[in-house]
Structure 1
Amino acid sequence: MYHSNDYVDFITNLANSSSTAADKEETRRRHAEFGIEEDCPVFRGLPEYTRLVAGATLTAVKTLTEGQADVAICWDGGRHHAQKARASGFCYVADCVLALLALKRVRVPSPDGTPPRRARVLYLDLDLHFADGVAQAFLHANAGGAAPTLVTLSLHHAAPGVFPAVPLAALSDADAPGADACTVCVPLARGTGNAAFARVWRGVERVRAALRPDFVVLQCGADGLAGDPCALWNWALGGEGGLGWCVDRVCNAWGCKTLLLGGGGYNSPNVARAWTYLTSIALRQPLSLDSDIPDHNAFPLYAPSFTLDVPAGNAQDQNTEEYLQTVETRLDRVAEIIRQRMGE
């Protein structure tokens, strides 16, 4: 259990909420208290939906922990903004947090015959928006200088007016007073594309190598792809540094059991393209990005290419060389601290 009892009771019983005139003001107050407003409105079937999202993600976790699969997928998961007692950012249930809590309880056999140790878990978020719900849930969870068992790492865009506008979204400095080296936040500028991701990925790899995770939870939001209405990044689906390239590294090179989750994405055809392609990568049967979209009712929406690819546009990458060097330095420092705390 992660969510508060009051929130769980509220969100799972919305269908029973009274709508009489006498209770309308109380209903509005309760909705505001639990974040059921603006970007988290009530919709038909919401209680069932929250149960299904949480259940699907936890079922995927179970397939990993019981050895039924090396990669498990819940594309309707990845709800990384939900808070302990509040819905936020189209996210009504914190399935990412629930998955991480379940994985943290796993015991991993030791090869030398010593008692099983706690599993080490890396959460990596590729969504355009900061994974605030996940970062806040586990902030200082590895306090006390003990060997870390969970690291959260969010690559995202942060700027005035961009949701979620929270201080934690700023570039992490593991040496700052009160900083948590295991809660890693890396904002990337407007126009971020393959080249910037390929550059930052070097630091991601070093953090992964320092932690040596048994499980990776990878949130694959598609709202940073070119053509998304957010229009902030210029990320491509293919090519070095592309979304597919990153997912291939995690699923097929890292040697960890991996949970793939969905996330943001407001160009529905491009999201369908992305998750189709990422599924093929997870299966180690990658589709050609030149593949034709099959005929179906929504076929016209895939114009003008009618192929699987989501290429980059012409937006200029505003990440400077100085900033990318700073990101690499900060990630290297995180990796160094993790290695020290692991006793290496």
Structure 2
Amino acid sequence: MNGLFTVADFKKKAEEVSKDSLLFTYFKHGAEKEITLKHNENIFRELYILPKCLVDVSNVNMNTKIFGCEAKWPVGISPSANHKQAHNDGEIGTAKAAGNVGSIFILSSFSMTSFEDVAVHAPNTIKWLQMYIYKDRNINRNFINRAEANDFKAIVITVDSPQFGYQTLRFQKEYETGKSLETVDYPNFSPFLENPDDMHASEDYIFSQTSSNASWKDVEDIVKMTTLPVIAKGILRPEDALRAKAAGCKGVIVSNHGGRQLDCTLSPLEVLPSIVESVGNDLVIMMDSGVYSGYDVFKALALGAQYVFMGRAVLWGLIVGGTEGAEKVLTTVKNELERTMCLSGCPDISNITRNCVRWRYATSRL
């Protein structure tokens, strides 16, 4: 991994390692024409930093407390499926990497490693569990019980997926190669599968279980199932943040699913200020989608995010170097954030406020 200094370097190397395989296509691409995927990244270039001069930055403090847990910096790993497709270290590798750098790790319910195995191998990592609202609520209850038993600290409900987005380039690649993305049994779903050894039947069942008629009442019901804080992920509208609060959620993740669901949406970075304004201090406001550098993290924090998550960036590191690669990506972004804080005159996370940034075209943003 010598010579890899930015997330962009890791992405280029990951593509070389994958040799344009369907695996890389699956991780890299977004929905439909990928307008949202590109916009998520490009919008950060429209927000500029306004530094303060002659501030003592000899001691930079990035420590962040969230839901009672102490994180060493305000960046974690978003939930994503199929980490073992990227590297044999899989979700255990990314969870360990998060713990080594002091990040929060959100485990996807579509993990290729069981909750229990992740908990055993990454005991010092702050772990949250992501899940959908399933037609069979016994799945939700089972996942929550196992999360509580294995020291997970929060439950993240993805609320932007009444069905799964159409990844045009992924399916085009499948058509060209004449094969589908290799699937394996998802151990977290094995108690609910009639035939866990049938890989395609397993995948079909999992996707069929996502509820397309879920409501905020269902979120209320899930909140009642657990003593852990519940977080709604996939919020883009202030009124939905308020609905999450009314349903009993303790936080929201402002997100458009990394551009993998509905194409042509606004970026989380654009809508973040209006959501922060609508809920004030009543919810923990977090963000993901389009975050690839410490500069991006700084800008998200300046617009009101209290914690920021990355998805694809960490997967590029996992593809290139397993646990070590994922950790190096996180460390790279952490160093970038520290350097940005120094050069902008912000020695503490609390110093990163709205007056630290300006939109390039002030009248064009929400």
State whether TM-score is above 0.5: no
Higher helix share: 2
Higher relative contact order at CA 8 Å, sep ≥6: structure 1 or structure 2? Answer: 2
User: TM-score scaled by structure 2?
Assistant: 0.34
